[in-house]
Structure 1
Amino acid sequence: MNYLPYNKNLVTRAKELRNNMTKAEKKLWYDYLRSFKFRVYRQRPIDNFIVDFYCPQLKLVIEVDGESHYQENAQESDSQRSKILEGYGLKVIRFTNEEVLSNLEGIVAIIEEMIPPNPP
């Protein structure tokens, strides 16, 4: 297992985010990821980021992007962030709040496709 830098300075913020999940994050968590066949962590500090959802067994980061991700420079920043996370051997997938709220089944199908035929 690759070592992922864990920034303990982000723990308090991660807990706040966990307690104040967006509507889309709640839907994805309670309707699917909470009972996912692999352990999934919410609001997990990795390096200098807090990722929305992280599944260590699949090395999968799932991000649910709200409005702030469409402001100027945000997509560039998201892209940099994804590159850094991918540098740790992680796979990063992003969905918009809108996608989660209006098409959870489609998102579940995409996530299910990320599970290898013979998972670890």
Structure 2
Amino acid sequence: MSLKNNKNVLFLAMLFLFMLFGEAIAQTALTKVHVGITNKMDFNVTIHCKSKDDDLGIHVLSSGQSYGWGFRVNLWETTLFFCGFTTKKGGGVYNIYQARRDKTRCHGGTCLWDVKDAVCMAT
């Protein structure tokens, strides 16, 4: 098979794959997600959220206060945000958004979390 024929076959294969998977890839790439965390305790909570690429900084939430951010999920659906929580009762680190886990759990691209008595609960 000549080099020109190889290029044609490769082009047709790429075109076929793009037509087959293009919409799904574009949908994932365009998906915007919003995460919100609300302090449901009677005292302050300090949170520090990060991903591999982004450090969202330290935020102190008083009782009833919320903090949130938005982002786009990567093409490979490996997007992960985790947060460290510190309260007067203790703390911990939790995966707040995992693309494959949360794409069906979060309604309308919104993931809401409540901080309750040293435990982070999904709502």
TM-score exceeds 0.5: no
Give the TM-score normalised by the residue count of structure 1: 0.30
**More helix as a share of residues:** 1
Q: TM-score, normalised on structure 2?
A: 0.29
Flag the structure with higher strand content. Answer: 2
